[in-house]
Chain A
Amino acid sequence: MSDTTETVAATNRGLMIPLIVFLLLVVVLYLGFSLKDPHILPSELINKPFPVFELRDLHQPGQMLTREDLLGEVALVNVWATWCPNCVVEHPELLRISREENIPLYGINYNDEIDKALAWLARRQDPYRFSIVDDEGTLAIDLGVYGAPETFVLDSEGVIRYRHVGPVTPDVWRNEIQPVVELVRQVSSARGSEVATSG
């Protein structure tokens, strides 16, 4: 009799194993499929220097822009195009940031036509200090960009500290980008004073 109960108990324990494995699988798949948007690729460029480039200025075709033009203070670099519907979505927020927030905003006009891009900015107003013409997408490739819009936060030395894929909505600004900007500023100023005292 006790033999039978033991066997039954063992069988029950055996039955538990597939159940546990199944539950583990559910958890893993849930995490894998729901929490991460598979369309958003993790960036390889975080904490790496912004790529070197030499490209035209959208507004002054004779003028070449380089990486040096982005340095000096914590800055935002926004990849945009006239063919990109989400760039229209984020445009009002970019305009607001350029007016109200004390941070330079630079544009990369990605795989676009200059006439169209200028008309687009004229119609919607221009939030950018300047826009870099990346008509062949070479700078975008160096940045690991695969669509638009994308927004990068650079520290004052031109190191990429953050990347946001998709439109910058007021929510994204408040909860993602602004905190990063403030953190980067704090770190930079701490490092700056360290250099000052040691020097």
Chain B
Amino acid sequence: MVRFMTSLMLMVCLLPSARAAIDAYPFPDEQHEVRYQSLIAELRCPNCLNTNLAGSDAMIAEHLRREVHRMLLEGKSDDEILSFMYERYGDFILYEPRLKTGTLMLWFGPLVLGLLAGFVFLRMVRRRAVSRALTAEEQQRLESLLQEKGQ
């Protein structure tokens, strides 16, 4: 019973986030609606550290969703809407940051690290593969060991 109550309370606590972005904005056609959904999914709520506009209850997220809706109806392109947000809130608001000097590390860092790791790995493998020939003494010991096993 206690467990049931706990899970029930947890569910209740989680409810607001589940019904966060249902503002019911009217759109002339489905295409606008789809674009709206994808825009609010790729824009990050400036007041939350890791929630998109679609999933946030914050006041600012609500306002920005309204702005996205307004601009869509005004006939703005996706790019124009993203730029509008970028000019005001900067890199933070885009889940896919723009390519510029400050974000080079972000874009290519993983690639560079991956290449580096591959290079180190190859070197290690190659170093292990190089084996020197056995000395006569070692050869003898090996043979005697093998013979022992064979008996």
A residues lining the B interface (CB < 8 Å):
38-39, 41-45, 111, 136-137, 140-147
Report the stretch among B10-18, B24-32, B83-91, B141-149 that lies at the interface: B83-91
B89 touching A38, Cβ below 8 Å:
no
Residues of B within 8 A of A41 (CB): 46, 89-90, 92
Q: Is B59 an interface residue (CB 8 A)?
A: yes
State how many angstroms separate the Cβ of B138 from the closest Cβ of chain A: 15
Main secondary structure, interface of B, reads helix
* Interchain pairs with CB closer than 8 A, number: 39
A39 touching B90, Cβ below 8 Å:
no
Residues of A within 8 A of B8 (CB): none
A141 touching B90, Cβ below 8 Å:
no
Q: Is B47 an interface residue (CB 8 A)?
A: yes
Residues of B within 8 A of A39 (CB): 49
Known contacts: A38-B49, A146-B46. The answer to whether A43 contacts B63 by CB under 8 A is no
Residues of A within 8 A of B92 (CB): 41-42
Residues of B within 8 A of A45 (CB): 88
CA of A44 to CA of B46, assembled, Å: 13
Q: Is B9 an interface residue (CB 8 A)?
A: no
B90 touching A43, Cβ below 8 Å:
yes
Known contacts: A39-B49, A147-B60. The answer to whether A142 contacts B88 by CB under 8 A is yes
B88 touching A136, Cβ below 8 Å:
no
Known contacts: A38-B49, A146-B46, A146-B47. The answer to whether A137 contacts B90 by CB under 8 A is no
In the complex formed, the residue of A with least CB distance to B64 is: A141
Known contacts: A137-B63, A141-B64. The answer to whether A146 contacts B89 by CB under 8 A is yes
CA of A145 to CA of B64, assembled, Å: 11
Residues of B within 8 A of A146 (CB): 46-47, 60, 89
Q: Is B80 an interface residue (CB 8 A)?
A: no
CA of A44 to CA of B60, assembled, Å: 17
Q: Is B96 an interface residue (CB 8 A)?
A: no
State how many angstroms separate the Cβ of A186 from the closest Cβ of chain B: 28
Residues of B within 8 A of A140 (CB): 63
Extra A-B contacts (18), CB below 8 Å, given A39-B49, A137-B59, A141-B67: A42-B90, A42-B92, A43-B90, A44-B87, A44-B90, A45-B88, A137-B60, A140-B63, A141-B63, A142-B88, A143-B88, A144-B46, A144-B89, A145-B60, A146-B46, A146-B47, A146-B60, A146-B89
